Structure 1
Amino acid sequence: MSLYDEGHTVAGWTGFGIATAGSGVVGLGLCAASLPLVVGGLAVVAVSVLVTWVLHLTGWGKPPGVRPRGQWGMRVRDAQARGGHPGCVSCRLAGRGRRAVVVAAAAGRSTAAESTPLSPVE
């Protein structure tokens, strides 16, 4: 069995359910040749993305990667969500998890991109 346990969260399943309903409305709109149904279905799919994102940020979604076995359950809320998950695009879009980068920049540490010359002339 995998240690990653991806997607088994309240945020994941709620987003999946809403997106499935939206896809069904899009399909119905295509079969009925109804532009308002297609647009409405696409709007429902867009809402599913937003709902999943909000649930992830409130702790009902979990970060990617290996987690301890005790945190695999769907009803286990993620306590680290408030501070942001390292490498999580969703948390970065919300402005979380950038504090470490700002602190490192303030300390005057140079990154690999700053220390490597761009051309032989430099």
Structure 2
Amino acid sequence: MSLYDEGHTIAGWTGVAIATAGSAVVGWGVCAASLPLVVGGLAVVAVSVLVTWVLHLSGWGKPPGVRPREQWGMRVRDAHARDGHAGCVGCRLAGRGRKRSTEVPASASAPGAIPAESIPLSPVE
């Protein structure tokens, strides 16, 4: 069984449901040769991205990586969402990244890079 539990969140499932509806409208528009339906479906897909992002920032999405089993449930809100998640692009876009130290480690090749040896891959490693 996977220890990462990616995407099993309210934000993830809501975004997928809205994107699926938008994709169906795009497909309908292609079959009907209707440009307004295609554009409308693409707009719904774009809205799904925004809805997923807002739900993630409000605590209904989880950070990437390994989480304790008690945080795997869909109805468990993430208490650390206000601070931002390390390595989360959505949190960075919202200006919620982890605070960087003023001292840059020599092993960091890019700004904000996290050394690979500090990220645990699984409980076995």
TM-score for both structures, normalised by structure 1: 0.84
The reply on whether 1:112 has 2:106 as its aligned counterpart is: yes
* 1:62-95 superposed Cα distances (whole Å, 9 cap, x missing partner): 0011000000000000001000000000000000
Distance in 2, matches of 1:50 and 1:95, equals 16
Letter in 1 for 2:86: P
The residue number in structure 2 matching 1:3 is 3
Match of 2:50 in 1: 50
Shift of 1:112: 3.2
CA distance in 2, matches of 1:66, 1:110: 26
Flag structure 2 segments of 5+ consecutive residues without an equivalent.
Answer: 109-125
Letter in 2 for 1:48: S
Alignment of 1:1-122 (within 5 A): 1-98=1-98, 100-101=99-100, 104-105=101-102, 109-112=103-106
What value does the CA root-mean-square deviation take over the aligned residues? 1.4
Taking the aligned partners of 2:107 and 2:69, their CA distance within structure 1 comes to 38
Distance 1:4 1:36, change over 3 A: same
* Aligned residue pairs, count: 108
Bigger fraction of residues in helix: 1
Identical positions, percent? 81
**Matched AA of 1:52:** T
